[in-house]
Structure 1
Amino acid sequence: MEDLAQSWTRLSLSEREGLGCCLTTEESVKSFSIAANFLTKRALNIEAIVRTFTPLWRARTGFKIQNIGDHKILFSFDDKEDVDRILGSELWSFDKHYDNDRPLQDIKYDRTTFWVQVRSLPMRYMPIEAEEKICNAVGKVIKQSDSQVYDGGNFIRVKVSIDITLPLCQGRLLSLNNDKQLWVMFKYERLPNICYWCGHLTHDDRGCDIWIESEGTLRNDQKEFGSSLRAPPFVVSKKKTIMVSGYFSTRKMNNKARHASQPMEEEPPTQ
């Protein structure tokens, strides 16, 4: 039936089957939805999902949860602000916001977003523009308006949309001024389950074709990927860098502030 729905253009439609039924916005749902693909082979427990996400999301008007099969869940909200806030935090490997104008089977669960920490770079090559250029190998860079979220102190963070059908990038070999070569490492914040045999997020070690083909004979030291991909927890609120104004500029600003705060002397009354 799904194939028929996709190939209707090749059919000779009768009068009853052709155009003649128009659906309006008044006949559509008034909710906002998130479609989620759970990267697990275990059966999904709806009640457990509700218990997990309710305290995390704190949706103002609540939400409805619907199992649409094949480890996919549809969350429906009455408040668009709840959806925008939840998608902004993105603590999971979910597809983008479902716009309700596409059939559910047309949603592609092939991308997710991570904050990637670029490590081992010399300080002179740590401007944001350089980091974004480096992370083009990881995925599509998502630029941020607040420059403070990039700063990790001895590393730079870049937000990247990643194609989960590909293995994770472990790092990148750079050429500095077309002379010296340097390997920089990538670490991924809030990295979920990952297969250390092939680097994919869509299954774990025991579900990997490489492991299955070996009939369990592979050793841990033969894994191509490792826990070094996982970044330690990062808190943006903790300032790693403070900008200090010039000495005389600060003195001038302090003098202006002091004069502005002094009360004006009252003039003596005239006779």
Structure 2
Amino acid sequence: MAASISIIAAKFLTKRARNPEAVAATFTPIWRSKRGFKIKNLGNHIMLFSFDSETKVDTILANALWSFDKHLMISQKYDGVSKIEDLNFNSTPFWIQLHGLPMKFMTTTVAETLCEPAGQILKLPNAKTEECGGFMRVWVMVDISQPLCRGRMVTLDDNRELCVSFKYERLPNLCYWCGRLTHNDRDCDRWIESEGSLTDADKEYGAWLKASL
């Protein structure tokens, strides 16, 4: 009986064409599949990765987020039957760190409630919301068609407001004008409409969104 094949469909969020050989050279040592994998380039920045182990595919997807050449690669399991054009490449999981949260509020309930505007809260036995010595850490499925959430305001018992900042682990390139992961600064509508008149002072996002691991 032929071995079953498990497939990952991935879309690279970049305008540059990607060479399958270069992609394979990057992910082979990272994914460490015993029998390797095959790549099929479908065009439109979409590639299929075929494995002979469903467990390996599940492990790869459980450890997302993945990027190539600092650009986001959105990945999902593919059944090999559905039309590629029907696949949704609009979301990807991120570990979000919450910084500046007072000790009293460093609980799972508070952290997950604050992260709800950033996306769907994800929970797995080995990926739980946790305190990591000074900040909370939450796994969130983020809609990359929207600007990244930079943080939340918290109202303390004495009615004072406190800003809790979000930092994203393994954050790839993003647009510093609008906070989206779907394009670079120079491809942003804000930049194009400004005819190059925007300055760094106009950027609403920056490298400060990237978490230190």
Higher strand share: 2
Worse-matched range after superposition: 72-81 or 172-181: 172-181
2:14 maps to which residue?
A: 40
Cα offset, 1:95, TM superposition = 3.2
Contact 2:150/2:165 (<8 A) preserved: yes
For 1:165 and 1:97, how far apart are their aligned partners in 2? 20
Contact 1:60/1:79 (<8 A) preserved: no
The match for 1:96 among 76, 92, 115 is 76
3-state SS of 1:54 partner: helix
Find the structure with the greater CA-based Rg.
1
1:199 maps to which residue?
A: 179
1:17 maps to which residue?
A: none
Taking structure 1 as reference, are residues 116 and 55 closer, same or farther at Cα in structure 2, changes over 3 Å only? same
Cα offset, 1:165, TM superposition = 0.5
Taking structure 1 as reference, are residues 158 and 148 closer, same or farther at Cα in structure 2, changes over 3 Å only? closer
1:220 maps to which residue?
A: 200
For 1:147 and 1:80, how far apart are their aligned partners in 2? 20
2:106 maps to which residue?
A: 126
The match for 2:97 among 117, 126, 132 is 117
1:134-180 alpha-carbon deviations (Å, 9 max, x no partner): 11011001124358772220001000000001000001112234822
Cα offset, 1:99, TM superposition = 2.5
Cα offset, 1:206, TM superposition = 1.1
For 1:47 and 1:120, how far apart are their aligned partners in 2? 43
Taking structure 1 as reference, are residues 67 and 207 closer, same or farther at Cα in structure 2, changes over 3 Å only? same
Gaps of 5+ in 2: 67-72
2:39 maps to which residue?
A: 65
2:49 maps to which residue?
A: 75
Taking structure 1 as reference, are residues 91 and 70 closer, same or farther at Cα in structure 2, changes over 3 Å only? same
2:150 aligned with 1:170, yes or no?
A: yes
Cα offset, 1:103, TM superposition = 1.4
Give the partner amino acid of 2:8: I
Contact 1:135/1:141 (<8 A) preserved: yes
3-state SS of 1:94 partner: strand
3-state SS of 1:87 partner: helix
Cα offset, 1:130, TM superposition = 1.1
How many equivalent residue pairs?
A: 207
Taking structure 1 as reference, are residues 113 and 147 closer, same or farther at Cα in structure 2, changes over 3 Å only? closer
3-state SS of 1:165 partner: coil
Could you say what the CA RMSD is over the residues aligned between the two structures, in angstroms?
2.0
2:211 aligned with 1:231, yes or no?
A: yes
2:163 aligned with 1:183, yes or no?
A: yes
Cα offset, 1:113, TM superposition = 0.6
TM-score (norm 1): 0.72
For 1:168 and 1:91, how far apart are their aligned partners in 2? 15
1:40-95 alpha-carbon deviations (Å, 9 max, x no partner): 11111111101101101111221110011100111111111110111111131423
Contact 2:106/2:131 (<8 A) preserved: no
For 2:3 and 2:84, how far apart are their aligned partners in 1? 14
For 1:154 and 1:85, how far apart are their aligned partners in 2? 29
Q: Which has the higher contact order (CA 8 A, sep 6+)?
A: 2
Deviant stretches of 4+, over 4 Å? 146-149
Higher helix share: 1
Contact 1:31/1:78 (<8 A) preserved: yes
2:60 aligned with 1:86, yes or no?
A: yes
The percent identity for this pair of structures is 47
